[in-house]
Chain A
Amino acid sequence: MTRRERVRACIHPETFKYFVARDDVLDTWSRLSRAYGEPVVADGFGVVEIRHPRFFIRATRMLNPITVIRRRHCTDADVQAIHDLLGFRPEDCAA
């Protein structure tokens, strides 16, 4: 089960790190890539990132946890869609 932790002082107040089950990490990134575009590895710190008009999706090279930063035009439906891809169900978690 995917759980999440809030990230403070970020671009969007509703920013979270999602901790995906270890054996589902690669499949999760495959789903995210299909939905939001191929990840790129940034120079310098080697952060893996997908930049999409609705989200910034980011992780270290370990690929987990996955930080999801909502952008200005992100809607509730967008959030529901990415939660489905991440295997996250808010009702299962207190965070």
Chain B
Amino acid sequence: MTAARSLPSIDREQIRARFALSYVPERHRRIIAGQEVIVHCHHYNSRIQRTVEGVADIDGKGIVRRASEQAFARQIAYAIEETDDEATRWVVAEELFAELGYGRLDLSKANEGVVTQSAGHFVEGWGVAFGDDRKPVCTLAEGFIQAAFIAIEGQEVEARETECMHCGADACSFTVEKTGAAAEVPAAPERIEGVSMQEHVELAESNIDDQAIINAVVGLAIRGTEEGLIPAFGVYLANTPADVYNGIAIEFVEEMSKLGRMESATRLLNEAGESCAMNTFRGIMDSPEWEALIAPMLQDQSDTLFALVALSNAFGWGNWGVTDHEPGESLEMVSFNGYEALGFLESRGKASEAQCWMLQGVSAGMMELVYGEGSFADRFGTFFVEETDCIAKGNSVCVFSVEEA
């Protein structure tokens, strides 16, 4: 690993050691630097961002920036050690950004108002999914830079991307303006754990060895390379704090509800999940990882679906499983600790409606991917999902019922 550009004496490998993954097997949770992180790929991440930023009447970039700033300020602060001098603290922020898979930031001149990025997860993601949509796309990085100033300097700043590789620049550039206000690391919501018990639910059986898949994923180093990207399963992965996804989804729905468009908001979030299932999982199913370990387990068509569920559990989406399945026709899934339901409960309290927009979309999308025919466009919307129970509503588990539309 290269030495710090401005600080050659700092050992970045030692800094990276602070971000060692802690996996909690009974809850299928991945924890890095004190934050539960969720593994998603460039397809989902760029799509959810585009969904939120694409609505004209709300400040979508502001929503993404705020969610990032809040969660990453906590994570950076957690990773900083008391004995770190200021220069080391900036390196901690740079390396955390890279470790999580977002790319390579240069924060060495952040205090002079200039930040650059030489590789970016969202640059890659938009390049694949939305190549013709030419505008700066590194909003999450803006939030991360703001978070770094809160955690390191105790200052509020506004970071804005002025040039982006997605638009053809050689590197992404950000300006940083100090507002003059002090800022504290925001407190985390009070965490809720173990609201449900798996032993009361009987899961359906398949030919898939779930534990072998989970062990392989947990054994895989899902951490950024020197350039801060995580190429694996034929896609670019990133470890994103659950609080970032929840902050984005909850505020997006709230802002849209103020405009009387809650139904549109939730449908858009569902579609992002549905697209995630079809694109991310399609990519994974074509990867050497799938071919090496999972393909030999497949005996029935439905085994593919069970394998995808095992993978998603290992990615930290929560502990969910299939309770009933008629191949090609219907699917019932139960989630014991989905991050969306818990996140809503933690930050907003009990909900009147189900809140697992991503898992809803993924449930339908998996059926469309495994049993559908034709192009993705042909398959889209061919299965309908209803989340009949949700932990956020006070139910003991979340239940997803999927049927042909």
Contacts and interface: CB of A to CB of B under 8 A. Distances in A.
Interface of A: 7-13, 15, 17, 42-48, 51, 56, 58-61, 67, 69, 72
Contact of B235 (A11, A13, A48): A11
B276 to A, nearest CB: 10
B219 A7 contact: no
Contacts of A56: 231
Contacts, number: 78
Contact of B231 (A7, A17, A69): A69
A73 B16 CA distance: 27
Contacts of A17: 286
B: interface residue count bin:
20 to 34
B195 interface: no
Interface stretch (B64-72, B75-83, B185-193, B277-285): B277-285
Nearest to A58: B288
Contacts of B278: 9
Given A67-B288, A69-B231, A9 B279 contact: yes
B220 A7 contact: no
A94 to B, nearest CB: 19
B29 interface: no
B293 interface: yes
Interface SS, A side: loop
A46 B292 contact: yes
Contacts of B293: 45-46
Contacts of A11: 42, 124, 128, 231, 234-236
15 contacts: A7-B234, A7-B283, A10-B286, A11-B124, A15-B234, A17-B286, A44-B217, A45-B220, A46-B292, A47-B289, A51-B225, A59-B288, A60-B291, A61-B292, A69-B231
A44 B315 CA distance: 14
Contacts of B291: 60
A51 B219 CA distance: 19
Of all A-B residue pairs in the complex, the 10 with the closest CB atoms, nearest first, are A44-B220, A9-B283, A44-B219, A9-B282, A45-B289, A60-B292, A7-B286, A9-B279, A44-B216, A47-B288
A67 B232 CA distance: 12
B297 to A, nearest CB: 13
B127 A72 contact: yes
